[in-house]
Amino acid sequence: MQYIYKLKWLVCFVLLHVALSAAADTAGKTGSISGKVTTSDGQPASFVTIALPEINRGTVTAEDGSFTISGIKPGTYALRCSSVGLEPRETSVTVELDKTTRIDFTLNESAAQLSEVVVTGARSINRKPVEMGKIAINPIDMPQSMAVIGSEVIANQQASKLSDVIKNVNGVSLGTTRGSTSETFFARGYNLGANNIMKNGARSNSAVIPEASTLERVEVLKGSAALLYGNVSSGAVINMVTKQPKFNYGGEVSMRVGSYNLYKPMADVYGPITKNLAFRVVGTYENAESYRNSVESERFYVNPSLLYKLGAKTEILVQGDYMTHDFTPDFGIGTLDGKTISKDISRSAFFNTPWAYNEVEQATTTATINHTFNDTWKLNVVGSYQAFDRNYFSTERIQADADGDWGRKLTRSKIGEDYYTGQVNLNGDFKIGSIRHQLLVGVDAEQYKNISHVFKIESLDKSGVYDSINILNPGKFTARTDEPVTNMSTRSEVPTQRIGFYAQNLFSLSEKFKVLGGIRWSVQRVPVADVYSFETDTKAPASNTKTKYDRAFSPRIGLVYQPVSFISIFSSYSNNFTPNTGTDVNGQAIQASIIDQYEAGIKTDLFQDKLSANVTVYRIKNSNLAQMAQFKADGTVNSDANIKELTGETTSDGVELDLNGTLDNGLTFLAGYSYNDMRYSKTSGLNGSYLEGERLVSSPAHTANGSVFYTLQSTALKGLKVGLSGFYTGERNAGWNTTHVVKKNDDGTETRSLNERLFKVDGFTTFDVSLGYTYKKLSLLGKLSNITNELNYYVHENYSVNPIPPRQFVSTVSYKF
């Protein structure tokens, strides 16, 4: 049955392609205009407006400076090339039937001059293709919701962590910060794990807090991205894009200081090495204490890159980054009796040992080759390697009794990861009859190895307790301060291989009607783990599990209707299988989950592309959601994230609103609102099953964000910048979702009850204000965050309860050269 299902989708996709191509014979007869815009130094000019004012038609150049306007009736028109702050160029162009007229423009400005203009220019987010889309299609033509947070917002808000950036994306929220050593995001109700976080299009480890202050931008594809990336959850995919080399000399040095002894120097230097070779080096060092007692952080990050232009049609980009981060693990203030967050415990109270540590080292190397065969065909090849190492020793799970007593247990771990990824993408932009095709055909492959170690900890009692403290009365017990000796007992190596083949085509039947069709075939292989014993110096016997294979089609189809050039109405459907990692409580592999997503929305560009307003509604159904198991097979509480269970069907309904724009020169803003209701919609009702209708934990129902920055342009205070940002995270469920308890009585009857371990966490709103001044190449920017000193918490299950930061100050002084 599974193969019949797959074959059905493949046949549908082929028939769709044939039918739409055949429709060209009956379509209206038109012509098109294409070309490329370059600067005076030969560099591509991206995001430049190309327009036919007489018929109110136009487009914006892509990253490589290319543009195409199709579906134009034969005739002679005035074609205008313009960008904010530049004198427009205009020329006459004649469009012929079923032909493409080629027109190229060369701007008098250099790439550096154009870049300075573009920073303050109005460029609609609906007209800028995202790199993670793997093909240069304007978002307004795609039946999917997208968001991009650029370097200007990152700099204005003085963001340092990925969560500082993501809070500007509605519908994507920081859910938990387990031990404050990593950040877990949720989108449309789904946990965004390691498979959903990318760096320059390649998967990136999520067990570390990425350095965000040096990013060029952060791209977010909301909803299903399985066709492009295979094994991802259906909430969203996040792509961090690092800064690239330039062929003009420049750079910036800055120093950031702030509350709690924050010191963070940063440097960014770029320029040409030869005529065809350019470099860039971005780096930062951070040393900080915290509003949490005894918590310290030290981070070093460097990001070198080289760009080599191998002739006019080929370029090779090599990027690398290296980060070390030593951070005090911090599980916050915990809970009392599993459900109560005590308001009597100070926001700064710290309950870990004085020697606890979390030491992370991560290195990434990526090579990208872009080759242009001609105006129709382009090739993109990406290869990446990432190494990750984490050395960790800390207390765990602050779950105190109602009176505050807590027996502290310890966790010692050492984890290593090796991640190889590769992808090849062929892009085509051509016409068959009068139908334009924007085709993507590709293949990607990954090899991932997780290496974990198990330790024995000396000097603990039989229950594994290190000592006892009282989180309400610190003087009740005398806490231990010694670091126990640990001995490595086993090492486990778990390899995973994935490969996927995908094809996607955007059929432009006319300027108003477009159809997106695509399909992916994925295979994932997870062999049996190798386990080595250091005590016996032998490899452990094979387990009772077998090599696991998951094979699946991931189809997608979408419709786009554009009644006018600045309004797009879309709907789409996608289906994907999500392979579930880990094992069940009996050590057996877990079957894949089947996910259906329906999405519809409107994208608009108003006031001459100065304002983008997008609205999206969606429904996502997961046939059987895999969650970390509550209990092991012997009935004891499970703390191993790799032991999971299938918990039942879930349904996620929601709506998202995005606003983004530049209404006046110097005035930029973005805002958004989202609502999500992800709940269990079908469960068995048997012992241990979940409660239908109950909202899942960690994901808020409502989120909202808004930021506005204004820089004075022409008054005596030219260069003065003011900003205001507000962020709202709604009420959330914490703990664990409610389960059924069914007990058989001696007389054969059943007693039914509910195991209720759920508790609610209130919503909260924070406001930040910024003030800065720029004079020539020197700038100063200060920010006061959480100005109302709001107190709330990020909660992981019921034991890592981390207070949000209080009111604090940060300031950055920068010099550009």
- Can you give the pLDDT at residue 545? 67
Residue 87, pLDDT score: 64
For residues 674 and 661, is the Cβ–Cβ distance under 8 A? no
What pLDDT does residue 591 have? 77
pLDDT of residue 256: 97
Query: Which of residues 95, 121, 147 is at a domain's end?
Result: 121
pLDDT band for position 603 (cuts 50, 70, 90): very high
User: What are residue 21's phi and psi, to 5 degrees?
Assistant: -65, -40
Q: How far apart are CA 9 and CA 594, in angstroms?
A: 15
Whether the per-residue pLDDT at 7 is higher than 80: the answer is no
Q: Is residue 663 part of a domain?
A: yes
The whole-number average pLDDT for the span 551-575 is: 93
Q: Which of 644, 614, 611 is nearest to 628 (CA)?
A: 644
pLDDT tier, 117 (very low <50, low <70, confident <90, very high otherwise): very low
* CA 672 vs CA 99, 130, 344, 559: distances in Å: 42, 19, 34, 24
The answer to which of 380-389, 546-555, 677-686, 716-725 has the lowest mean pLDDT is 546-555
Task: Flag whether pLDDT at 8 surpasses 50.
Answer: no
Query: Looking at 81-95, 210-224, 400-414, which range is the least confident one?
Result: 81-95
Torsional sign, CA 147, 152, 158, 160: positive
Could you write out the three-class secondary structure of 383-413?
EEEEEEEEEEEEEECCEECCCCEEEEEEEEE
Provide the CATH number for the domain around residue 13.
Answer: 2.60.40.10
Domain stop point among 100, 121, 142: 121
205 backbone dihedrals φ, ψ, rounded to 5°: -65, 135
Rounded distance between C-alpha atoms, residue 369 and residue 384, angstroms: 12
| Residue 106 and residue 39 in contact, taking contact as beta carbons nearer than 8 Å | yes
332 belongs to a structural domain? yes
The answer to whether residues 306 and 278 touch, using CB atoms and an 8 Å cutoff, is yes
Range with the lowest mean pLDDT among 107-116, 523-532, 751-760? Answer: 107-116
559 and 692 share a domain? Answer: yes
Distance separating alpha carbons of residues 516 and 571, to the nearest angstrom: 10
Name the least confident of 118-132, 158-172, 272-286, 456-470.
118-132
> For residue 692, what are its two tokens?
């239908």
pLDDT for 464 equals 85
Cα separation, 183 vs 217, in Å, equals 19
Give residue 24's pLDDT band: very low, low, confident or very high (50, 70, 90). very low
**Is the residue at 439 inside a domain?**
yes
Instruction: Give the closest residue to 226 by CA, choosing from 494, 595, 532.
Output: 595
CA dist 488 to 126, 215, 263, 281, 407, Å?
53, 38, 36, 39, 24
Tell which of 76, 102, 121 closes a domain: 121
State residue 127's pLDDT score: 80
Distance CA(592)–CA(577), nearest Å, equals 6
d(Cα 708, Cα 667) in Å, to the nearest integer?
Answer: 7
Residue among 617, 573, 599, 622 nearest 13 (CA): 573
If DSSP codes are grouped into helix, strand and coil, which group holds residue 21?
A: helix
Asked if 160 and 286 touch (Cβ cutoff 8 Å), the reply is yes
* DSSP β-bridge partners for residue 577: 594
pLDDT for residue 584? 72
Instruction: Annotate 70-130 with three-state secondary structure.
Output: EEECCEEEEEEEECCCCCCEEEEEEECCCCEEECCEECCCCHHHHHHHHHHCCCCHHHCCC
Q: Does an H or E element contain 683, and which?
A: none
Q: Which of these, 574, 559, 676, 565, lies nearest to 617 by C-alpha position?
A: 676
**485: how many CB neighbours lie within 10 A of its CB?**
10
Please tell me the distance from the alpha carbon of residue 537 to that of residue 531, in angstroms, as a whole number: 11
Please determine, for residue 430, whether its predicted confidence score (pLDDT) is greater than 90: yes
CA dist 514 and 672 (Å) reads 27
Q: Are 627 and 88 a contacting pair, CB within 8 Å? A: no
Instruction: Tell the burial category of 11 from Cβ atoms under 10 Å away from its Cβ (0-12, 13-18, 19+).
Output: exposed
Do residues 387 and 532 both lie within one domain? Answer: yes
The token pair that represents 200 in the structure block: 């320059």
- Residue 154 pLDDT > 60, yes or no? yes
Average pLDDT value for residue range 700-726 = 91
> Which pLDDT score is estimated for 129?
85
Q: How confident is the model at residue 112 (pLDDT cuts 50, 70, 90)?
A: low
- Residue 450 clears pLDDT 70, i.e. is over it: yes
pLDDT value at position 14? Answer: 41
* CATH code: domain of residue 324: 2.40.170.20
CA distances for 105 relative to 21, 39, 88, 369, 591, angstroms:
32, 8, 11, 26, 55
Tokens matching residue 268: 């960014």
Q: Which range (156-170, 318-332, 387-401, 652-666) has the least confidence?
A: 652-666
Give a yes or no: residue 127 inside a domain: no
**Helix, strand, coil percentages in the chain from 3-state DSSP, rounded to 5:** 10, 55, 35
Locate tokens 């995202």: which residue? 130
**Burial bucket for residue 549 (CB in 10 Å: 0-12, 13-18, 19+):** exposed
Q: Is residue 431 part of a domain?
A: yes
- Distance, in Å, from the CA atom of 61 to the CA atom of 555, rounded to the nearest integer, reads 30
* Predicted local confidence at residue 110, as pLDDT: 58
Predicted confidence (pLDDT) at residue 540 exceeds the cutoff of 50:
yes
CA atoms of 238 and 658, how far apart (whole Å): 17
Among 139-148, 661-670, 763-772, the range of highest mean pLDDT? 763-772
Taking only the tens place, the pLDDT of each residue in 229-261 is 988 888 899 999 999 999 989 999 999 999 999
The reply to whether 754 falls in a domain is: yes
SS3 (DSSP) at 125: helix
- Residue closest to 433 by CA, chosen among 804, 156, 703, 71: 71
Q: What is the pLDDT of residue 132?
A: 86
At 121 the pLDDT is: 42
The first and second tokens of residue 221, run together, are 């594809």
pLDDT at 666: 81
Across 115-119, 373-377, 503-507, least confident range? 115-119
Whether 759 maps to a domain, the answer reads yes
Number of domains in the chain: 2
What's the confidence (pLDDT) of residue 67? 83
State how far the alpha carbon of 136 is from the alpha carbons of 57, 231, 661, in Å: 19, 23, 21
* Model confidence at 485: pLDDT above 70: yes
3-class state of residue 600 by DSSP: strand
- Containing domain of residue 42, as a range? 1-121
Assess whether 461 and 593 both reside in one domain: yes
Phi, psi dihedral angles at 320 (to 5 degrees): -140, 155
CA pair distance 215, 284, nearest whole angstrom:
12
Task: Read off the pLDDT of each residue in 191-209 and give the average, rounded to a whole number.
Answer: 87
> Which of residues 191 and 40 earns the better pLDDT score?
191
Strand partners, 85: none
- pLDDT given for residue 58 in this prediction: 74
Amino acid letter for position 468 = S
Separation CA 580–CA 226 (nearest Å): 14
Longest CA–CA separation in the chain, Å: 93
Digit-coded pLDDT (tens) for 300-328: 999 999 999 998 899 999 999 999 999 99
Q: Select from 117, 102, 135 the least CA-distant residue to 45.
A: 117
Three-class SS of residue 515?
A: strand
Q: What is the dihedral of CA 37, 43, 45, 51, to 10 degrees?
A: -10
Beta-carbon count within 10 A of 787 CB = 15
Please tell me which residue, 740 or 503, carries the higher pLDDT value: 503
From 184, 127, 196, 120, select the one nearest 152 (Cα to Cα): 120
DSSP conformational letter for 55: G
Q: How confident is the model at residue 423 (pLDDT cuts 50, 70, 90)?
A: very high
Nearest one of 301, 294, 85 to 213, comparing CA atoms? 301
DSSP codes joined into one string, 689-730: PBPTTPBPSS--SEEEEEEEEEE--SSTTTTEEEEEEEEEE-
- Sign of the dihedral through C-alpha 192, 197, 202, 208: negative
Show Cβ contacts of residue 452 under 8 Å, excluding neighbours closer than 6 positions.
Answer: 413, 414, 415, 416, 491, 492, 494
What does the mean pLDDT of the chain come to?
87
- Say whether pLDDT at 783 is over 70: yes
At 13 the pLDDT is 45
Q: What is the pLDDT of residue 1?
A: 39
